[in-house]
Every structure is written in C-alpha cells, then in structure tokens.
Chain A
Amino acid sequence: MTDILEDKQYTTLNLGPTHPATHGIFQNVLTLDGEQIIDAEQTIGYIHRAFEKIAERRPYYQITPLTDRLNYCSSPINNIGWHLTVEKLLGIKTTKRIDYMRIILMELARITDHLVCNSVIGVDSGALTGFIYVFQEREKVYEIYEEVSGARLTTNMGRIGGFERDFTPKAVQKIRAFIDHLPKVLVEFEKLLLRNRIFMDRTIGVGPISGERALNYGFTGPNLRAAGVDYDVRVMTPYSSYDDFEFVIPVGTQGDTYDRFCVRQQELWESVKLVRNALENLPEGNFHVDAPQFYLPPKEAVYSKMESLIWHFKIVMGEIDVPVGEVFHSVEGGNGELGFYLVSDGGRTPFRLHFRRPGFIYYQAYPEMIKGGVLSDAILTMSSMNVIAGELDA
C-alpha cells in the first residue's frame, strides 16, 4: 500500500474564477487525490474596486453608494451601518421612528440575504425548486426597497440622520403583506429541505469548524453561531434601538453546513418577528433628525426656501466641518459583523475608512474546512458560508 502512495500523482483543479458553482468571481486551486481534497489555495481580488481609496476623496454622504456594493445581497444593512457610523462621529441622536424604520429595513435585508444563501445551498445539493420558490419572495422585498428608496439592488437607503422620505402607505402595506405571506413560504421551504433525507446526508458533517477555531479565524454572524458561539452584535452592542425588541439568537453545535443552514433558517423566523414588532410599534415622529448641517434638505425646499438652499450648497460644496476623531462602529450584517473604522481629520472626506468585511475574514478558513472532504462537499461548504464576492474584494 505504501509504495503505491509514494509515486501518487495529484490532480490540480482550478475551481473558478468563473464557475457557476462559486457564486462570484474567486478562484480556488484545489489539489485533489481522486475526489478527495488534499489542499486548496484561494485567489481573490478579481473585483477589487478600491473602495477605501475612493472613500478618501468622497464626502461622507457619497460613500453610501459604495457600501451598497459590499454585500450586495443585503445592501440596506451596509447603508444603514455606514449612516450609524457617521452619526456616531457627528454625535447625532436619532429618533425612535428612524430607529424602527431602520430595523424594519435591516431585517428585511437579512431575510433576503438568508433566503438567497439557504436556497443556494439547496441548489448546490441538487434541489432547485426551493431556490426558485423563495426568489419570488426576495422579489417582493426588492419591491419594498423600490417603494422606500427608489432602487432595488444597490439601494443607497436613507441618509445620514434618517431617511429622505417617510414610509409611504403603499410601502407599509407591502411590508405587511410580505411578512404575512413569508411564514407560509418558509414552512414549505423547510418541508422541502430541513428534514429531507438526501439534503441531510449531503450537509451534516460537511465543512465543519469548531467554535474555538471559528473564533480564532474571526468568524462572525450565522457561521460563528452555527459553531456554538452566541455572539450577535444586535444583542452584544445594541444599535438602532435593537434593545427594545426581544428575539432569540439561534445557535448550532457542530458548525457544519447543516447547522449553518438551520441557524439561518431560524434567523429568518426571528427577522419576520422583528419586522412585525417594529412595524406594529412604529412610533410617530420625524423620519429624519433636525441636523440641517448634515442632512440634505428636500429638493422642493431647496428650490423654494433660502435656508434650505444655503444648507444644500454648504453640504454639497463641502463647507461643513466634521469633528476630528476616530470611531469604530459595527452592525450585524447578513453574514457577520460588518465594521466601519472611520478616521476623520475634520475635512470633508474621511482621512481613512476601513471596512471590516465579515466575508473577507472568514473566507480564509475555507481550505481548513474542506480539507479531507470530497469536491462536491467543497461546493456546498462554500455556498453555506455565504461568501459574497463584492464584500470579499471591497
């Protein structure tokens, strides 16, 4: 047996950069022994767009569209996370209405993110039905985004200090219809996969990671919770009035693909609950803060009121000084702790802005998770980690 191993030849397989199963543009060079993975090396950076450099020349409110393109499956979380960071630097205190509106949008974004990720795990294990079924629901969330912000994928949601407009009655109606309908879809989706023998055989024990290794690798979000560590930024450091709500943080035990699937699935239910609670208890009040030096005035006011015109001019031309300082703010993104490290020297643009992208950080554990497994399991592991190319490469 041993002398056969001596002159064994391994196969090198390029998985990606443009392979449908990688769900994005990144390459894995796998060393295979038959079907078993011996080693893997990742190459990333194919869609690097130098956001951090671009941000150093952009005024604060123009950085929001850059954050859209990080985790594009849940853009509103990125947008609102950025707004919260700037508000922390400026010392702006938002009203409860803004907070609740943000929670609604962020949880809707989490729902789309998890729906996409979980249904894609189904696709990669050979069950296309669920994917097509839940994509219809994602479409409904995009319609809500469209009603609230005017855009669908890259939402550019809200502004520093609130929103550009209040929820329209149609938006509220659409949100309500969505959360009333989603549970039915989730039940059916879970019937398709959750206790499906084939699905369980394909996912249980696949791509596992221990809680200790996951922490060492900087895992956050559902991937960390699947490994049994109950760290959630929404609970640990509540932002945007998340502490007004009660919700459960689901945790797994094995840290494998099935646990990641189950954690996300449970979080979907919690998000539905959060959206419903926030919508039912949506307080009266203003949808933006009274901070004219940072909040762009409405266009009608710019054309008809002198003060608004002056503020508009001052904001757009960068005449407003921001405080000198540095802040780190993080929010619970769709796939982990999304952090913003912002250094301001008082100028119009950030002196330094660094995005802590959860996907970039936990994707480096991928080789460790797939080593020893088979090729088809590697595909499943990748889709269950929810690696999103836009976030990976920033």
Chain B
Amino acid sequence: MENTYITDLLHKHFSHDILEKETGGDILTVIVTSPVIHDVIRFLKETENMNFNFLTDLCGIHYPDRGLPLGVVYHLHNLSENKRIRVKTFVTVSNPTIPTVTDLFSTANWMERETYDFYGILFEGHPNLKRILNVEYMDFFPMRKEYPLEDPTREDKDDRYFGR
C-alpha cells in the first residue's frame, strides 16, 4: 500500500481536518484535528483496503511551546500488508478532551488511562477513566514538561555543567 493512496483517501474523506502529513520519517505520519480522531481511526480500521486493524501503541506527548501543546500519538498496524501509520492529534491544556477509541479497540482502555494518568488528557466516552500507574490522590500530571524530574530547589547540582 502506497503512502499517497492512504493520504489521498484520507484527504477525500476528512478534507480540512487533515492538518499535516509527513512521509519522510520512518512511518507515514498524519496529524488530524482532535474532534475527528475517532472517525479517522475508525476509517483507517474499517475501510476496505485500509484495514489498520491493530492498535500497536497509544501515548501522550507534551510540547509546552506550541499553541496546542498536548498531543496523543496513535500507532496503527495493518497486519496483512505489514504497513504502519502514525496518527497524531493535539489539544489545548485548558480543554484537553478528545473522543475515546475504546469502542474500536479494547486495548485502548489501559493505554488511554495511562495517557490520562501522565498527561491529563480526557478521553470522552472512556468506560473507566482513572489513574492507572500513579496513586489516585495525585493532583498533577507528572509527564508534562513543567514537572521537573529532580527537585528544582537543589543547589548542589548544576545542570549547566552536564550539558542539559
């Protein structure tokens, strides 16, 4: 399956919602707007000739300097033709809501819980959206970039000397 075939078909169905496509990387990457993410994933999964029927991975990402800082990255795999595709969508910090894909893939259940746990992205329609790896009473989302790994008040360690 050619990359252009996939992107053309996506463009035909989701004209303005396909924001960007990148074919130069290791996997074809498509960035879509957040409201249509469920439809795009379903389109990729259920359309004949697409058949991306395996959700390999789903995770969050945080770019603090961008207009839409919080992202969700989906890795889908067409097992019969061994073709992978990466779909991304971005949301704001104030309203980090995107539709869930748990109705399409049971495996998305824990992956979305993990993404919520670490990035605070709210998956609308998720059956059980609560923290999974961190403690329940945690009141922040630790993988966001504003939470440093080490105690920022420490004075005995200066990162500038370590190339960081």
B-binding residues in A (CB < 8 A):
44-45, 48, 50, 52-54, 56-57, 88, 213, 215-218, 229, 231, 236-237, 317-319, 325-330, 337, 339, 341, 343, 348-349, 352, 354, 356, 360-361, 363-365, 393-394
Contact between A216 and B25, CB atoms less than 8 A apart: no
**Which of the listed residues B29, B59, B107 has the most CB atoms from chain A within 10 Å of its own CB?**
B107
Partner of A364, one of B54, B109, B134, B142: B109
Instruction: Give the chain B neighbours of A237 by CB distance below 8 A.
Output: 82
- Identify whether the interface residues of A are mostly helix, strand, loop, or mixed: mixed
- Assuming the A-B contacts A328-B27, A328-B84, are A218 and B54 also in contact, with contact meaning beta carbons closer than 8 angstroms in the complex? yes
Q: Mark B33-61, 1 if CB is under 8 A from A, else 0.
A: 00000000000000000000111110101
Question: CA of A296 to CA of B84 in the docked complex: distance in angstroms?
Answer: 33
Chain B 88-114 near chain A by CB (<8 Å), digits 1 or 0 = 000000000000000001110111001
- Extra pairs beyond A57-B149, A328-B57 (10, CB < 8 Å): A52-B143, A57-B150, A231-B79, A237-B82, A328-B26, A328-B56, A328-B86, A341-B73, A356-B57, A394-B133
A53 to B111, CA, bound (A): 17
Known: A57-B164, A215-B53, A348-B163. A343 touches B61 (CB 8 A): yes
| Most interface-central of B56, B105, B135 (chain A CB within 10 A) | B56
CA distance A393 to B131 in the complex (A): 13
B10 interface residue per 8 A CB criterion? no
Does chain A have a CB within 8 A of B75?
yes
CB of B137 within 8 A of chain A? no
Q: How far is the CA of A213 from the CA of B57 in the complex (A)?
A: 17
A339 to B114, CA, bound (A): 16
Give the interface of B toward A (CB within 8 A).
25-27, 29, 53-57, 59, 61-62, 73, 75, 79, 82, 84, 86, 105-107, 109-111, 114, 118, 131-135, 142-143, 149-150, 162-164
Please give, as numbers and ranges, the residues of chain B lying within 8 Å of A217 by CB-CB distance. 106-107
CA distance A348 to B54 in the complex (A): 33
Across-interface contacts of B27 in A (CB, < 8 A): 328
Q: Show 20 residue pairs from A and B whose CB-CB distance is below 8 angstroms, ordered by the A residue.
A: A45-B131, A45-B134, A48-B134, A52-B118, A52-B143, A53-B149, A54-B149, A57-B149, A57-B150, A213-B106, A215-B79, A216-B107, A218-B55, A327-B26, A337-B56, A339-B56, A348-B163, A348-B164, A354-B59, A365-B106
Residues of B within 8 A of A361 (CB): 107, 110-111
Bound: A363/B107 CA distance, A: 10
Q: Is the CB of B75 within 8 A of A328?
A: yes
Known: A339-B75, A361-B110, A364-B109. A53 touches B142 (CB 8 A): yes
Given A53-B142, A53-B143, A328-B27, CB of A48 within 8 Å of CB of B133: yes
CB of A360 within 8 A of CB of B110, answer: yes
Tally of A-B Cβ pairs under 8 angstroms: 95
A56-B149, A360-B110 known; A218 vs B56 contact (CB < 8 Å): yes
Q: Tell whether A50 pairs with B142 under 8 Å between CB atoms, given A57-B149, A215-B53, A330-B56.
A: yes
Q: Which residues of B are found within 8 Å of A352, using beta-carbon distances?
A: 61-62
Q: Report B-chain residues with C-beta under 8 Å of the C-beta of A57.
A: 149-150, 164
A343 to B71, CA, bound (A): 13
- A339 and B57 contacting across the interface, CB-CB below 8 Å: yes
**In whole angstroms, what is the CA distance A145 to B131 when docked?**
37
Looking at the assembled complex, report how far the CB atom of B54 sits from the nearest CB atom of chain A, in whole angstroms: 6
Shortest Cβ distance from A327 into B: residue: B26
- Residue numbers in B under 8 Å from A394 (CB-CB): 133
Nearest chain B CB to A290 CB, angstrom units? 23
Interface contact B107-A364, CB-CB below 8 Å: yes
Q: Which residue, of A52, A218, A329, has the highest number of chain B Cβ atoms within 10 A? A: A218
- Residues in A neighbouring B62, C-beta threshold 8 A: 352
Q: A53-B142, A53-B149 are in contact. Are A218 and B59 (CB under 8 A)?
A: no
Residue of B nearest to A88 (CB): B26
Cβ–Cβ contact A218 & B107, under 8 A: yes
Docked pose: A52 CA to B26 CA in angstroms: 21
Q: Are A393 and B149 in contact (CB under 8 A)?
A: no
A317–B57 touching, CB < 8 Å: no
Query: Chain A nearest CB: distance from B55 CB in Å?
Result: 6
CA distance A319 to B135 in the complex (A): 37
Residues of chain A contacted by B61 (CB below 8 angstroms) = 343, 352
Q: Which residue of A lies closest to B111 (CB)?
A: A361
A170 to chain B, nearest CB (A): 38
Complexed CA–CA distance, A50 and B54 (Å): 26
Report the nearest A residue to B150, measured CB to CB: A57
Provide the bound-state CA to CA distance between A394 and B105, in Å: 22
A318 contact from B29, B107, B111, B164, Cβ within 8 A: B164
